[in-house]
Amino acid sequence: MDCAIRIAGLVKSYGDVVAVAGLDLEVRRGECFGLLGPNGAGKTTTIEILEGLLAPSAGTVEVLGLRWDRQPDELRARIGVALQETKLFDRLTVEETLRLFRTFYGGRATLSVETLLDEMQLGEKRETWVMKLSGGQRQRLAVALGLIGDPEVLFLDEPTTGLDPQSRRALWDTIAALRARGKTVVLTTHYMDEAERLCDRVAIVDHGKGIALGTPAELIDRSGGQHLVEVTTDPALPPEAFAGLDGMRAVRAQGDGFTLSIDGPHVALPALVARLAERGVRPTRLVSRTATLDDVFLSLTGRTLRED
Amino acid sequence: MTGGPLWALSGARIKQFLREPGALFWTFGFPLLITVALGTAFRNQGPTKSQIAVVAGPGSAAAVSALAGDPGIKVAILDPESAARRLVTGEVVLIVLAPSSPGSPFVYRYDPSRPDAPAVRRLVDERLQRQAGRRDPLPTRDETAVAKGARYVDWLVPGLLGMQLLNGAMWGAAFNIVNARQRKLLKRLAATPMRRSDYLLSFRVSGLVFVPIQVFVLFAFARLTFGVTIHGSAVATLALSLLGSWSFAGLGLLCASRAQNSETANGLINLITLPMMVLSGVFFSSSRFPAVVQPAIRLLPMSAFNEALRHVVNDGASIFAQGYPIAVLAGWALVTSVVAVRIFRWT
């Protein structure tokens, strides 16, 4: 029973359009689980099925061992939700909105409004109408509303989309704190840094299918290692020119140059510089960096996450 | 304890409404402006005077002096051509041709299909006959009594209340719900354990607060400005208003049950309200429509409301004598609510 969510053979189609094309997943209790993928990959459809807002076309979904077609009322009371870009009651204040939602959970709402205002740094805005909040404040209110029933699982759909960098980081801290308190969190994102930073495990989805599953480190490691070197030369070299370098794992053409997966920059970089000198070519660009989930997605699909 | 969700939702609705100046104006201010505008335009101006023409000629001066003293008519001496032209355009109701030689008849020329023409003819004839010496064999005495609630403004105000309640149900509730669906607020609420009926009922609970205020404000204003009074029971007036608002709210909920965006809602609302504004006797009596469609018109909720409320307010009738319109209103309230809740979409 350490499994919070179990999805098997999930399919959702709208006429001819298939949004989710056979997804199998398990989310463990107490972990922060990320659905990572580009826009239109089926993340929102999947999470809305988990939230009981959409009915699946096929497959089974269990949340906390319960099913939406059998125990919808109990499930609604035990989960928390923040939809993508929630619009609330424009002319209620932050505090009034929290108090209103709190009544929906009856006795389950053990967190006080004061605690939530504090925790979400909304204390100063308690008297402000929702329509007058900034994007970051509105999103923090959305998360606070998700938490108000003291849920066992919290679903966050694109929690930081459209936020400025400072608000994003503030919200990340909040989510990390929830995770540290042992809450199960399921979030969708198309930001690789968000998934890396927050998630214990990540499922990468594309075209409605899971194409990779694991911890961010595992996924990066599986796709060719943590360290990358990006090199562009003048004149251009063929990929074979990099064969047999010390500590090299893989070569991938990218733009007008190459991305090399390497074991460690301290070994591979000197060897690479020596090889270029040997060939008599000049590097016009030479960057060493750590791999990200974006590189994982690229190596799996040949596309980047942010291509729309 | 924070109180139940139904009360919290209703309280939130009332707060939001009070914070929206536009909604306040359309709900409370606008009907008062219409009352003033129409009450003034169609006020009773005392007995109206009918314009008649005496064609210039030998006997015309005597005829004019006989007619001039009558409070019901205005007399002018005209040449035959302009008198004839004004009869055609309706500026004069009747033309008097005095005989050129004694013993020849007076001629009254008029269009008998004009509603006031026969009465004016009798009036003119009596004046001229009396001047010629006719005496009445019977003594008579007039006692005038203005019927209560008989002015246009008295008749108008109950209809305006109906319009106001219908608009409240449509623009206040239905539009609001569709807007919440479009902004995914309904979806957010559906993801909580909130009882869905509580959300829909909160519109009715807030209505219980607003309807009595609307009734009071409109009738108080109409009394102060035009002396309109409720001749029947005030409690009956309020009870009918609440029943009417339930019935209109059902229609509003039906409009709002599936529409995905405010444009669709806008169209649906106009489709429902505009025909009733014309057919159900808000501004003019629906008795002007042919008899064959009257049974259908009486089945409209707005017609039923106006009929029952006017009987109570204008005629002082008992609410218990309004069985048919009350049944119509209750039927609409029940059927529309049940269907709307069945087909209502949260996402």
Which residues contact residue B55 at a Cβ distance below 8 angstroms, ignoring those fewer than 6 apart?
B77, B78, B79, B80, B83, B95, B96, B97, B98
The residue of chain A with its CA nearest to that of B198 is: A104
Contact assessment for residue B244 and residue B162, using Cβ atoms and an 8 Å cutoff: yes
pLDDT at B148: 62
Q: Is the peptide bond before A235 cis (omega within 30 degrees of 0)?
A: yes
Among A76, A102, A108, select the one facing B191 at the smallest CB separation.
Answer: A76
- pLDDT > 70 in chain B, percent: 97
pLDDT at A213: 93
| Residue A1 scores a pLDDT above 60 | no
CA dist., res. B207 & res. B213, Å (int): 10
pLDDT at A308: 46
CA dist., res. A83 & res. A159, Å (int): 8
CA dist., res. B98 & res. B317, Å (int): 52
| Edge-to-edge strand list for the sheet holding B107-110 | B73-78, B50-55, B94-97, B107-110
Q: List pLDDT tens digits, range A219-256.
A: 888 877 788 889 998 888 888 888 888 888 888 888 88
Let me know if A246 is exposed, middle or buried by CB neighbors in 10 A (0-12, 13-18, 19+). Answer: middle
> Which whole number is the average pLDDT over A29-48?
92
Q: How many CB atoms lie within 10 A of CB B45?
A: 7
CB contact under 8 A, B192 and A105: yes
Per-residue pLDDT band at A43 (split at 50, 70, 90): very high
Q: How many CB atoms lie within 10 A of CB B27?
A: 21
CATH code of A224-290, in short, is 3.30.70
Q: List pLDDT tens digits, range B50-67.
A: 889 999 888 888 888 888
Residues of A in contact with B192 (CB under 8 A): 76, 81, 101, 104-105, 149
Let me know if B136 is exposed, middle or buried by CB neighbors in 10 A (0-12, 13-18, 19+). Answer: exposed
pLDDT at B198: 92
Domain B50-131 belongs to what topology? D-Maltodextrin-Binding Protein; domain 2 (3.40.190)
Residues of B in contact with A86 (CB under 8 A): 184-185, 188
> Which whole number is the average pLDDT over B126-143?
87
pLDDT at B115: 82
Quote the mean pLDDT of chain A: 89
Q: List pLDDT tens digits, range B169-208.
A: 998 889 999 999 999 999 999 999 999 899 999 998 998 8
Per-residue pLDDT band at B149 (split at 50, 70, 90): low
Helices (H), chain B: 5-18, 21-24, 30-41, 60-68, 80-89, 117-131, 152-167, 175-182, 185-190, 196-226, 234-256, 262-279, 294-298, 301-313, 323-343
Q: Report ipTM (2 d.p.).
A: 0.87
pTM to 2 decimals? 0.81
**Is CATH 1.10.760.10 correct for A3-220?**
no
Q: What is the dihedral of CA A240, A242, A248, A253, to 10 degrees?
A: -70
Q: Residue B192: which of A119, A98, A94 has the closest Cα?
A: A98
Q: Partners of A206 in the beta sheet?
A: A209
Per-residue pLDDT band at A164 (split at 50, 70, 90): confident
Which is higher by pLDDT, A305 or B81? Answer: B81
Residues of A in contact with B185 (CB under 8 A): 86-89
The residue of chain B with its CA nearest to that of A99 is: B2
3-state class of A187 per DSSP? strand
The domain segmentation of chain B, as residue ranges, is: 5-42+151-343, 50-131
Which residues contact residue B184 at a Cβ distance below 8 angstroms, ignoring those fewer than 6 apart?
A83, A85, A86, A87
Among A52, A77, A89, select the one facing B12 at the smallest CB separation.
Answer: A89
pLDDT at B1: 40
Rounded to a whole number, what is the distance in angstroms from the first to the last CA of chain B? 31
Could you tell me if B16 lies within 8 Å of chain A, comparing CB atoms?
yes
CA dist., res. A183 & res. B297, Å (int): 61
> Which whole number is the average pLDDT over A95-119?
90
Quote the mean pLDDT of chain B: 89
Tell me which residues of chain A, numbers 172 to 201, contact chain B at a CB-CB cutoff of 8 Å.
none
The domain segmentation of chain A, as residue ranges, is: 3-220, 224-290
**Testing the interface with A: which of B185, B192, B203, B206 to mutate, by most A Cβ within 10 A?**
B192
> Which whole number is the average pLDDT over A154-179?
89
pLDDT at A30: 92
Q: Residue B42: which of B216, B270, B290, B284 has the closest Cα?
A: B284
